[in-house]
Amino acid sequence: MQIKHDVVYDAANHLTLDIYGPDGVARGGIIQIHGGGWFRGDKAKDEDWAERWAARQYEVLVPNYRIAPAFHYPAAQADMETLMTWVKTAQLPFDKHHLAAVGSSAGGNMAVELAIKYGVPAISLSGILDIGNWLSQHQDVDAAEGDTSDFNQRASATINQDGPNDPFYKWFMTNYIAPADYAKASPAPRVTAKTGPLYLANSLNEFVPTSGLFQMGEALSRAQVPFTLRTVVGSRHAKGYLDDVFDELNLFLNKMI
């Protein structure tokens, strides 16, 4: 495996990515987007997932992006669009027609956004997909951050694994997204026939509601876009159930890119 750290993809905003390359010829490329509620996290948090993809002959790009409180919606999503522009011109050892986006939690949201805008296949584990509708139905919930102080010292698969947490779900969304943008930030209404095929997963009793999963399923069905919806028993969030679904993810990418 060949690893390059801190490759600049947006000099103006001081944004970098890490590249995990396979031994031998790459079968395609993956943009691997870390989670963290748009207020925390780092590309290093997805090193484990990137190494698994590289071991399966993918060239993996793991970017940092702008987060709250310094930046707000749609800064992070715009950074992924900048990254897509950079990928088109960068000297990378894979066929640019064989590219997918993968992410968990907030990263899952942004992977879906890339599928909508660019038509690339995407994988989302516990993506933040129900935003405007959920907030309109939970106006009585008091937003609360809770203790998130040790996020960057813990493995992603051990974070937010305890089940529903509406105060925190509301807090990190409203911390990043302004009220005027709640509806605009919800991806399902923007699905079209040009959206890329999607694999969307959620635990049945985790803090990210399954409503976003089924909203996307309905929108993708109407647009006649291929998709897989996968639910997992229990309260595990995102990379907490990665081992359960990784073989399926690999098969999805093998077929789609």
Q: Which architecture, in CATH terms, is 2-256?
A: 3-Layer(aba) Sandwich (3.40)
**Collapsing DSSP states into helix, strand and coil, what is residue 13?**
coil
Percentage above 90 pLDDT, the chain: 93
Chain position carrying tokens 């396979």: 22
pLDDT digits (tens, 9 = 90+) for 6-16: 999 999 999 99
Q: Which amino acid is residue 229, in one-letter code?
A: L
Q: What is the pTM of this model?
A: 0.97
Q: In the prediction, which pLDDT does 152 show?
A: 73
Q: Could you state, in order of their start, the residue ranges of all structural domains in the chain?
A: 2-256
Cβ within 8 Å of residue 12, ≥6 positions away:
none
Element (H, E) at 99: strand 99-104
Pairing of strands 15-21, 122-125: unpaired
CB atoms within 10 A of CB 72: 17
Mean pLDDT taken over the chain: 96
Q: In the prediction, which pLDDT does 153 show?
A: 67
pLDDT digits (tens, 9 = 90+) for 137-149: 999 999 999 877 7
Average pLDDT over residues 62-68: 98
